């Protein structure tokens, strides 16, 4: 029978079954409680039926029998005959037969009813549609009451665990077969009963469960009879239905035996491989975050269900095994008595209390190096034998030791485990995973060849290690209660990437500089979309969990923590974090717990700021404000007052954001004039518009808000103030801090792009107008007169010419950060313009801005860093040099192109790579784009043969730079079919081909044609699917491409999460920019002044 038809036929019995179960439960409250530890000797012929509707059969039978009826049909028929005197024997015999037939018919009806209900129950276990369950609610019941009743009767139908049982300890034994990639295990879970229940509900997914049992953990306690167990795939749950209730607050032991395959899908317990001396070798490793521990063993797979774990791994002795804890004394490399099969069993020490998704193990034949941290903590790095022998892991091992001491000192909380392992694997869905005591990294994020790695690669690798070790406190030791506050761990780890890297290399100045461009500016682009969301968002089920792991959680979380640290001051901030960690160690916490501890730290110094009241506005609302500062020129206030207003900043359809949103804004303000700047002042902005007194200002005094960009908001000014700031940058930029110079560039470009209501700007004043055009007339800072025209039907907060004039000072900019901010803004424009007919106007404009500083900085030495040192004092200079070369080559500087071609030609002819490591990615890409197919084949061959992880990465990306569409198509297809391209790298291939103007249509078509394959491969992996979707679509900017995207979403949008909605908004914005701004943008470029020179 077809499933839908089956439920329709038997759906009416669900209500009877549920009512009968409820009646039975009510009646048993009036009986003497039978000890559930007693094993009943009776057995049911229909356990399926008994499990859900024990009393139903007797209930129905009693209704069918008349009063005084005997136990069989004959008794009933004889009673009927005796009641009718005078009936002849033959007639009585006939009547007796009729009564007997009637009785048999009744019994048959009862049997059919029982079978029907049993089939209905069996159907319900299989997770069919919900019509039957809906029928039980009745027409007059409210949805909430119905949901509560359903959850009580069938708790496995709820998306969250019922909470009746709490795990205390897992004893997990796993046997791993690497010859056929399977594993088998059994787990014993000590649970505490919190609320009486007949159901044990826990998580299990993609497991074959072979046996289950439940026993009482108390003297004299016995087995608790399990009537049945079944998997409920819809919620990835395993359900044990018990004969009697478990009683609170008793403890029990749940035992489950299971087996499964070691899959090749990057999640759960999965396999990977590498080649050593021509031999393919395999390893198996776990990735449980966020909801994949259930794929490796049955467990209570939610963060708040913390427990301790004892783990034993059994495997072929040619492998070694690792886990969160060290091998237990006397528990390693011994046979456990299972026979002369030659297997090895390793028993690992008991873990502290932790969440299931931080449990980890690996079976591999790696080698290692070890060092010792403070307090004797063993720090080990495991990797491929050839990588370890070459010293590729030494750098990460060195900084891990230093970082462990740094965090212990910063947090004033000791590292909790006796060892910390760093495991480098060839294939992993993420850069790294912070499993407690066993952090797993993809090779390219932890292995470093100092001879060929660039400064930027070293920086990236360093920050990944810093991030994961921070998680040993924020995440492992103190875990968010639920996924809605995942930013509590990811935001802190992302913030400390920069703080910890500053500890390692103070000259890099990461927290005050690179944080701005790489975190603050990047996430504000995302958070300015209407498809953004609050950093704390409601999470109901497993599908929602993947939605919260995005850059809002990581980068906005980090930016808000940085803002809070600057408001509180470092000393009080550290005091609050220490109290937070000590109060919740080995447990869970929510955002209010953090706010409470930070507020207590403030009050301890007599400062009454309610951190929760301030930060709830930033964490429970989407987006951020744009704060507009202007001098108040009225006679009443003279020039000692400023007017400050705030509103929701939003790119998008109508420009203005949600008018109901307000924030408590910690605005720092400074003033300057020519060669001086006054000290900053903190002003709290609570309302839409406020007036504040500052120092006396004259007409030449400029205002500057958000000093060093510590706040998470944009700042706008009246146009006269923008004019004064531009003049300051052209005459003496060092008066304004390097962070604020970068911030002015980023704010100006984004304020010009944000679409708001029409404005007319004249002599520094702004008025509403119904005119479809805007004109801006102002005096130029560099000459006597400038007419800056920006006409658009819909304009931004600023005319298009303001940011372009602002970066005119860059010829005199000697610092890396403002150039980096400017290049990011210019590349945003480049992706909009690179297929337009007038593109040369834009590229020429960029080259004019770059030319002077590019020639002044020159090219780096072609000598590799021979001593292997990774500590370079000239980091900022190297990064600026690289940024200028990249801009020059990208936008067509002929001298840059000749230099790149010369480097590639020398490499091919001499077979010696003399290209400086810091610019290899730029040279490789430029050479491939300019030279013939033989160069592409040469790079492809080098990609095959290189053993350096960082080198392989940039070689693969260089292959996507070709102008040859045949080669690009070939590369796209190889990315999914060749073993030479790792699964996590295939996304980079597709995205980088899409960035190439010649490959954009190819990548977009490939993405749509291969969507089912790509989604099946990456759909469950956090970030991967969204990175693929965003990377392929962000460069689309025509009406035709927008139509294709809408059609794709309509056909394939289910299951892709919010990434497609965000992609649609971005592409709509790109198309809108072309319609509203492109013509006027090019008009300004045709009249653009030359770059300023002093």
**What residues does 433 pair with on adjacent strands?**
440
pLDDT of residue 544: 78
Q: In what order do the strands lie in the sheet containing 308-315? A: 223-224, 208-216, 251-261, 182-193, 165-177, 308-315, 344-347
Are residues 741 and 817 in contact, defined by beta-carbon separation less than 8 angstroms? yes
Please tell me which residue, 589 or 8, carries the higher pLDDT value: 589
Mean pLDDT, residues 381-403 = 96
pLDDT of residue 76: 32
pLDDT of residue 113: 58
Neighbouring CB atoms inside 10 A of 404's CB total 20
Query: Residue 513 gets which letter from DSSP?
Result: I
Please tell me which residue, 531 or 124, carries the higher pLDDT value: 531
Mean pLDDT, residues 105-117 = 61
Are residues 666 and 684 in contact, defined by beta-carbon separation less than 8 angstroms? yes
- Nearest alpha-carbon partner for 1022 in 426, 537, 553, 362: 553
116 pLDDT higher than 80: no
Please tell me which residue, 603 or 42, carries the higher pLDDT value: 603
Please tell me which residue, 805 or 785, carries the higher pLDDT value: 805
Percent of the chain predicted with pLDDT > 90: 64
Q: How confident is the model at residue 333 (pLDDT cuts 50, 70, 90)?
A: low
Model pLDDT for residues 810-849, shown as the tens digit of each residue: 999 999 999 999 999 999 999 999 999 999 999 999 999 9
770 pLDDT higher than 50: no
Q: How confident is the model at residue 158 (pLDDT cuts 50, 70, 90)?
A: very high
Q: What is the three-class DSSP state of 423?
A: strand
Q: How confident is the model at residue 697 (pLDDT cuts 50, 70, 90)?
A: confident
Q: What is the three-class DSSP state of 236?
A: coil
CA–CA dist 1008, 1001 (Å, integer):
11
Model pLDDT for residues 739-752, shown as the tens digit of each residue: 999 999 999 999 99
Mean pLDDT, residues 453-468 = 94
Question: Half-sphere exposure (CA, 13 Å, Cβ side) for 469?
Answer: 36
18 pLDDT higher than 80: no
238 pLDDT higher than 90: yes
pLDDT of residue 794: 37
- Identify which of 1-15, 614-628, 672-686 has the greatest average pLDDT: 614-628
CA–CA dist 128, 183 (Å, integer):
30
Q: How far is CA 692 from the centre of its chain?
A: 41
Please tell me which residue, 401 or 88, carries the higher pLDDT value: 401
Please tell me which residue, 114 or 390, carries the higher pLDDT value: 390
Model pLDDT for residues 354-380, shown as the tens digit of each residue: 999 999 999 999 999 999 998 899 999
Tokens (6 digits) for 438? 């066993």
pLDDT of residue 1053: 67
pLDDT of residue 579: 98
pLDDT of residue 514: 94
Q: What is the three-class DSSP state of 131?
A: helix
Q: Which residue reads 């993420």 in tokens?
A: 430
Q: How confident is the model at residue 1002 (pLDDT cuts 50, 70, 90)?
A: very high
Q: How confident is the model at residue 140 (pLDDT cuts 50, 70, 90)?
A: very low
Are residues 513 and 738 in contact, defined by beta-carbon separation less than 8 angstroms? yes
Q: Which residue reads 């923590």 in tokens?
A: 561
- Nearest alpha-carbon partner for 776 in 817, 726, 829, 821: 726
pLDDT of residue 729: 95
Are residues 484 and 537 in contact, defined by beta-carbon separation less than 8 angstroms? yes
Among all residues, which ones are annotated catalytic? 468
β strands within 729-886, DSSP E = 759-762, 765-768, 776-778, 786-788
Measured CA to CA in angstroms, residue 265 lies from 427, 671, 983, 1016, 1059 at distances of 10, 57, 9, 9, 21
Mean pLDDT, residues 346-350 = 97
Phi, psi values for residue 217, rounded to 5°: -95, 70
DSSP labels, 243-293: EEEE-TT-EEEEEEEEEEE-BSSSSEEEEEEEEETTEEEEEEEEE-TTTTG
5 pLDDT higher than 50: no
- Identify which of 20-24, 198-202, 638-642 has the greatest average pLDDT: 198-202
pLDDT of residue 32: 37
Tokens (6 digits) for 487? 């930013």
Mean pLDDT, residues 1004-1009 = 94
Mean pLDDT, residues 8-24 = 35
CA–CA dist 754, 652 (Å, integer):
7
Helix (H) or strand (E) holding 801: helix 801-806
Phi, psi values for residue 198, rounded to 5°: -100, 0
pLDDT of residue 95: 58
* pTM of model > 0.85: no
Query: Residue 34 gets which letter from DSSP?
Result: P
Mean pLDDT, residues 392-406 = 96
575 pLDDT higher than 60: yes
DSSP labels, 655-707: S---TT----EEEEEEEEETTEEPPPEEEEE-SSEEEEE-S---TT-EEEESG
Dihedral sign computed on CA atoms, order 720, 722, 725, 731: negative
pLDDT of residue 331: 60
Model pLDDT for residues 65-108, shown as the tens digit of each residue: 333 333 333 333 333 333 333 334 444 454 566 657 666 766 76
Contacts of 115 (CB under 8 A, 6+ apart): none
Neighbouring CB atoms inside 10 A of 690's CB total 16
Model pLDDT for residues 540-561, shown as the tens digit of each residue: 877 778 778 888 999 999 999 9
Are residues 1077 and 1046 in contact, defined by beta-carbon separation less than 8 angstroms? no
Model pLDDT for residues 1054-1090, shown as the tens digit of each residue: 656 688 889 999 999 999 999 988 998 999 999 877 6
Mean pLDDT, residues 320-334 = 81
- Identify which of 129-133, 434-438, 855-859 has the greatest average pLDDT: 434-438
pLDDT of residue 375: 86
Tokens (6 digits) for 9? 């036929």
Mean pLDDT, residues 333-356 = 78
873 pLDDT higher than 90: no
Model pLDDT for residues 659-673, shown as the tens digit of each residue: 789 999 999 999 998
- Nearest alpha-carbon partner for 568 in 609, 523, 538: 609
Question: Half-sphere exposure (CA, 13 Å, Cβ side) for 762?
Answer: 6
CA–CA dist 150, 49 (Å, integer):
18
Burial of 169 (0-12, 13-18, 19+ CB in 10 A): middle
Phi, psi values for residue 696, rounded to 5°: -65, 140
- Nearest alpha-carbon partner for 285 in 394, 341, 366, 398: 366
Contacts of 393 (CB under 8 A, 6+ apart): 369, 381, 383, 387, 422, 424, 446, 447, 448
Buried b (16+ CB within 10 A) or exposed e, 617-630: ebbebbbbbbbbbb
pLDDT of residue 273: 92
Mean pLDDT, residues 959-967 = 96
CA–CA dist 379, 471 (Å, integer):
16
204 pLDDT higher than 90: yes
Mean pLDDT, residues 861-865 = 58
CA–CA dist 1071, 1017 (Å, integer):
31
Q: How confident is the model at residue 693 (pLDDT cuts 50, 70, 90)?
A: confident
653 pLDDT higher than 50: yes
Q: Which of 373-377, 876-880, 1017-1021 has the lowest mean pLDDT?
A: 1017-1021
Q: In what order do the strands lie in the sheet containing 714-717? A: 689-693, 641-648, 625-631, 714-717
pLDDT of residue 792: 32
Mean of pLDDT over the chain? 82
Q: What is the three-class DSSP state of 713?
A: coil
Are residues 958 and 921 in contact, defined by beta-carbon separation less than 8 angstroms? yes
Helix (H) or strand (E) holding 750: helix 738-753
Q: How confident is the model at residue 657 (pLDDT cuts 50, 70, 90)?
A: low
- Quickly list H helices, 29-85: 47-53, 56-64, 73-82
CA–CA dist 584, 479 (Å, integer):
9
Is cis: bond before 249, omega within 30 of 0?
A: yes
């Amino acid at each position: 029978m077809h499933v839908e038809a089956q439920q329709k036929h038997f759906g009416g019995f669900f209500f009877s079954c549920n009512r009968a179960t409820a009646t039975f439960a009510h009646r048993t409250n009036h009986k003497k409680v039978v000890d559930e530890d007693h094993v009943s000797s009776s057995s049911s012929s229909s356990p399926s039926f008994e499990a859900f509707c024990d009393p139903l059969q007797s209930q129905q039978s009693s209704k069918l029998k008349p009063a005084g009826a005997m136990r069989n049909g004959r008794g009933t028929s004889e009673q009927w005959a005796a009641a009718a005197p005078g009936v002849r024997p033959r007639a009585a015999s006939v009547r007796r037969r009729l009564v007997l037939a009637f009785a048999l018919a009744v019994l048959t009806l009862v049997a059919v009813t029982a079978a029907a209900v049993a089939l209905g129950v069996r159907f319900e276990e299989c997770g069919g549609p919900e019509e039957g369950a809906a029928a039980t609610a009745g027409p007059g019941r409210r949805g909430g009451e119905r949901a509560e009743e359903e959850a009580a009767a069938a708790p496995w139908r709820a998306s969250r665990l019922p909470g009746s049982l709490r795990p205390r300890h897992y004893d997990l034994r796993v046997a791993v077969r690497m010859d056929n990639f399977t594993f088998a295990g059994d787990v014993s879970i000590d649970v505490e009963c919190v609320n009486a229940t007949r159901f044990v509900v826990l998580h299990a997914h993609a497991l074959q469960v072979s046996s289950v049992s439940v026993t009482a953990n108390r003297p004299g306690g016995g087995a608790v009879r399990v009537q049945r167990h079944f998997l409920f795939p819809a919620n990835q749950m395993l359900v044990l239905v018990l004969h009697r209730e478990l009683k609170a607050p008793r403890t029990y032991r749940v035992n489950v035996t299971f087996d499964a395959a070691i899959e090749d899908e990057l999640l759960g317990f999965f396999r990977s491989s590498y080649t050593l001396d021509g031999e393919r070798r395999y390893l198996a490793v776990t990735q449980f975050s966020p909801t994949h521990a259930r794929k490796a063993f049955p467990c209570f797979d939610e963060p708040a269900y913390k427990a301790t774990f004892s783990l034993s791994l059994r495997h072929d002795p040619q492998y070694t095994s690792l886990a969160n804890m060290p091998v237990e004394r006397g528990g390693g490399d011994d046979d456990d008595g299972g026979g002369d099969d030659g297997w090895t069993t390793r028993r690992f020490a008991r873990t502290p209390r932790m969440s299931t998704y931080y449990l980890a193990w690996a079976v591999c034949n790696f080698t290692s190096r070890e060092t010792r941290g403070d307090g004797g903590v063993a720090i080990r790095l495991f990797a491929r034998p050839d990588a370890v022998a070459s010293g590729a892991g030494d750098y990460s091992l060195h900084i891990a030791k230093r970082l462990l001491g740094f965090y212990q000192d910063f947090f004033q909380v000791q590292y909790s485990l006796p060892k910390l392992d760093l495991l480098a694997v060839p294939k992993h869905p993420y850069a790294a995973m912070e499993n407690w005591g066993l952090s797993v990294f993809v090779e390219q994020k932890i292995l470093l060849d100092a001879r060929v790695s660039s400064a930027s690669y070293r920086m990236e690798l360093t920050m990944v290690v810093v991030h994961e070790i921070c998680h040993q406190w924020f995440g492992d030791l103190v875990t968010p209660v639920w996924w809605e506050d995942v930013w509590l761990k990811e935001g802190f780890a992302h913030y400390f990437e920069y703080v910890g890297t500053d500890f390692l290399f103070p000259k890099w100045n990461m927290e005050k500089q690179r944080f701005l461009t790489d975190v603050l500016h990047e996430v504000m682009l995302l958070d300015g979309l209407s498809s953004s969301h609050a950093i704390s968002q409601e999470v109901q089920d497993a599908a929602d969990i993947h939605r919260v792991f995005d850059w809002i959680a990581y980068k906005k979380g980090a930016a808000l923590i940085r803002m809070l640290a600057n408001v509180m001051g470092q000393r009080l901030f550290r005091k609050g974090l220490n109290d937070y960690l000590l109060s919740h160690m080995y447990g869970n916490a929510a955002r209010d717990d953090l706010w409470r501890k930070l507020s207590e730290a403030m009050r301890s110094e007599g400062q009454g700021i309610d951190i929760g009241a301030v930060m709830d506005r930033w964490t429970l609302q989407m987006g951020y404000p744009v704060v507009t500062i202007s001098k108040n020129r009225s006679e009443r206030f003279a020039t000692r007052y400023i007017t400050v207003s705030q509103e929701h900043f939003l790119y998008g359809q109508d420009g203005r954001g949600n008018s109901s949103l307000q924030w408590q804004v910690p605005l720092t303000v400074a003033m300057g004039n020519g060669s001086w700047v006054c000290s900053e002042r903190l002003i709290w902005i609570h309302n839409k518009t406020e007036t504040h007194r500052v120092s006396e200002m004259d007409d030449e005094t400029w205002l500057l808000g958000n000093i060093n960009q510590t706040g998470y908001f944009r700042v706008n000014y009246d146009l006269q103030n923008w004019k004064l700031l531009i003049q300051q940058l052209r005459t003496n930029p060092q008066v304004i801090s390097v962070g604020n110079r970068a911030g002015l560039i980023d704010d100006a470009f984004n304020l010009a792009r944000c679409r708001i209501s029409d404005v007319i700007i004249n002599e520094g004043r702004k008025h509403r107008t119904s005119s479809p055009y805007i004109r801006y007339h102002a005096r130029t800072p560099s000459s006597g007169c400038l007419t800056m025209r920006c006409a658009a039907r819909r304009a931004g907060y600023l005319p298009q010419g303001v940011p372009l004039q602002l970066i005119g000072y860059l010829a005199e900019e000697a610092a890396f950060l403002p150039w980096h901010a400017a290049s990011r803004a210019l590349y945003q424009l480049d992706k909009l313009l690179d297929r337009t007919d007038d593109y040369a106007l834009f590229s020429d404009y960029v080259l004019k801005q770059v030319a002077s500083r590019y020639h002044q900085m020159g090219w780096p030495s072609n000598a590799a860093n021979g001593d292997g040192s990774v500590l370079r004092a000239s980091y900022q200079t190297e990064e600026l040099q690289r940024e200028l070369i990249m801009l020059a080559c990208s936008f067509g500087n002929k001298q840059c192109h000749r230099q790149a071609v010369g480097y590639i030609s020398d490499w091919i002819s001499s077979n010696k790579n003399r290209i400086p490591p810091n610019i290899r990615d730029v040279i490789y890409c430029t050479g491939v784009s300019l030279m013939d197919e033989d160069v592409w084949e040469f790079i492809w061959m080098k990609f095959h043969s290189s053993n350096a992880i960082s080198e392989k990465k940039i070689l693969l990306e260089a292959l996507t730079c070709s102008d040859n569409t045949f080669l690009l198509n070939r590369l796209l297809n190889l990315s999914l079919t060749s073993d030479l391209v790792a699964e996590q790298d295939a996304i980079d291939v597709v995205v980088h081909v899409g960035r190439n103007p010649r490959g954009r249509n190819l990548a977009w078509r490939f993405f749509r044609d291969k969507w089912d394959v790509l989604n099946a491969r990456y759909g469950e992996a956090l970030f991967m699917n969204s990175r693929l979707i965003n990377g392929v679509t962000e460069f689309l900017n025509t009406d035709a491409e927008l139509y294709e995207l809408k059609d794709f979403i309509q056909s394939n949008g289910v299951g892709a999460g919010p990434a497609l909605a965000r992609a649609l908004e971005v592409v709509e914005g790109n198309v809108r920019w072309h319609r509203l701004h492109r013509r006027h943008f090019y008009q300004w470029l045709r009249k653009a002044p030359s770059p300023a020179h002093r």
